Amino acid sequence: MADTHTSISSSRPLDASQRVFGLRDHASLWFSLGVGLLVMQVGAYLVPAMGTQAALFAILVGSIVGAGLLAWVAQIGCERGLSSAALISQTLGSRFARLPVILNIVQLLGWTAFELVVMRDGSAAIVKQLTGVDAAWVPYAATLLLGGLLLALARGSMVRLVRRFVGRYGLPLVIASLVWLTVQFVLAAQAQGFEAFWQRPGNGSMSTIAAVDLVMAMPVSWLPLVADYARYGKSGLSARRGTWIGYAIANTWCYALGVLVVSTAQPGLDLVTTLLLAQGGLIALGLILIDEMDNAYGDVHSGAVSLNFLRPGTSVSSWGMVMAGVSVAAAMVLPMHSLEPFLLMLSSVFVPLFGVVISQLAAQGRSREVAIAWGPAAVWLLGIAVFHLSPKIAPALGSAIPALVVTLAVGSLLRSRGHDGPVPSVSGA
């Protein structure tokens, strides 16, 4: 069996011969995808808003709950053998589903470009640390080099990448780098007074629920992608367990490391510079930046699967190269850091969407293919409204948790009242 891309359709279930991922493959992939410099930077936002112990509690709860939701969708995708785009189609109807699928492609292009910028900035910092060169051409050269690697990966086999590179080589190296950095910054905390670090209070500007919401932001951001990988699993149970275990550990570790690093940093230094100044930090940061490439690849591959769903005449690998090329161009010319709020706004539509997907497809049974599933579509729109209104009405509750609770509850009620899958539309399929 080979993941040739050309023989795989995003619209139909995978054959049994194509399902090769076991628990270890799922866990390795999602641990690797859960590790990233961006995750550490977001973790740093928790302090000084919260005390150390409160921040670590929020990290643990948010990681377990967020990774659990990710694992739930992974199980659904694996058991049905369907891509994320196909799951959305079964939930909202084939015609209406095109809207979120297209939005997903746009956000994946943006996040791929953003990942390239994060890797570019980190690479430029390493070059400056090693050589003292701080020229304007360095970021552009780094972007082109990283983009070329991404294009090569997009052309290849996703299954081989996960099983041969991530599982065998990438995972041990990134774990070693995380262990090294953790030890270095624990020693730094001890040198500064570990008891003071552990007992440090927050300034009260962030509630525990809002912090949990922030921690959940990373795992739930992968909800529109997880089925594109889980569908290659041998069983739904191993897909759920592997995804949950792998991502929960990585998310907890990186968020906590972000808190530890920023708590021991010298005043005025950012997280990347602090990592570089640690003993062995240059090598460890380099390995983390290499691992960051699989996050960009994850976005590219899932975007290609969605494009193949919309235009099945072009193979996944060909669409992947298009995704990679456009993302590299965007990273070269667009102010991606300024566009981050726009990308976060786009991402907000997928948290309630997959609350609806879970409520409609978690139960076994075949959903009917229709043009527009009015009930689930209305629940999705309700969830988007809750996501954006909740911080204004009840800031302490955050956004993701209220939106997920509402869509799961209302969607489940809709299904229990006899709407087993999408309701046929008057216009026909």
pLDDT digits (tens, 9 = 90+) for 310-328: 999 999 999 999 999 999 9
Tell me, what's the pLDDT at 421?
Answer: 47
Tens of pLDDT, residue by residue over 163-187, are 777 777 778 888 998 999 999 999 9
113 pLDDT above the threshold of 80: yes
Q: What is the mean pLDDT of residues 121-142?
A: 88
Average pLDDT over residues 391-412: 90
pLDDT at 365: 56
Whether 428 has a pLDDT exceeding 60, the answer reads no
Q: Give the pLDDT score at 418.
A: 59
Report DSSP letters for 170-229, one per residue: IHHHHHHHHHHHHHHHHHHHHHHHHHHHHH----S-S-HHHHHHHHHHHHHHTTTTTHHH
pLDDT value, residue 2:
40
Q: Is pLDDT at 79 greater than 60 in this prediction?
A: yes
Give the CB-side neighbour count of residue 229, counting CA atoms within 13 A: 37
Over range 235-245, report the average pLDDT: 97
Distance spanning both ends of the chain, measured CA to CA: 34
For the chain, how are helix, strand and coil distributed in percent, rounded to 5? 75, 0, 25
Q: Which of 27-41, 240-254, 257-271, 273-287 has the lowest mean pLDDT?
A: 273-287
Question: Alpha-carbon distance 81 to 325, whole Å?
Answer: 29
Task: Specify the pLDDT at position 5.
Answer: 46
Among 5-19, 91-105, 149-163, 261-275, the minimum mean pLDDT is found in: 5-19
**Mean per-residue pLDDT, 197-203:** 92
Query: Residue 411 CB: number of other CB atoms within 10 A?
Result: 27
Q: What's the whole-number mean pLDDT along residues 4-23?
A: 80
Provide the percentage of residues in the chain whose pLDDT is more than 90. Answer: 57
Q: Is residue 229 within 8 Å of residue 78, measured between CB atoms?
A: no
> What does pTM read for this prediction?
0.89
Mean pLDDT across 277-283: 82
- In sequence order, the 6+-apart residues with CB closer than 8 A to the CB of 66 are 215, 216, 217, 218, 219, 220, 247, 248, 251
Q: pLDDT band for 189, please (50, 70, 90 cuts).
A: very high
Question: Could you say which DSSP state residue 313 is in?
Answer: T
What was the pLDDT predicted at 307? 96
Q: Would the pLDDT of 341 be above 80?
A: no
**CA quadruple 187, 188, 193, 194: dihedral sign:** negative
Q: What is the DSSP letter of 17?
A: G
65/103 Cα distance (integer angstroms) = 25
Residue 338 has pLDDT above 80, yes or no: no
Q: Catalogue all structural domains in the chain, each as residue range(s) with its CATH number.
A: 19-416 (1.10.4160.10)
Report the pLDDT value the prediction gives residue 166, as an integer from 0 to 100.
79
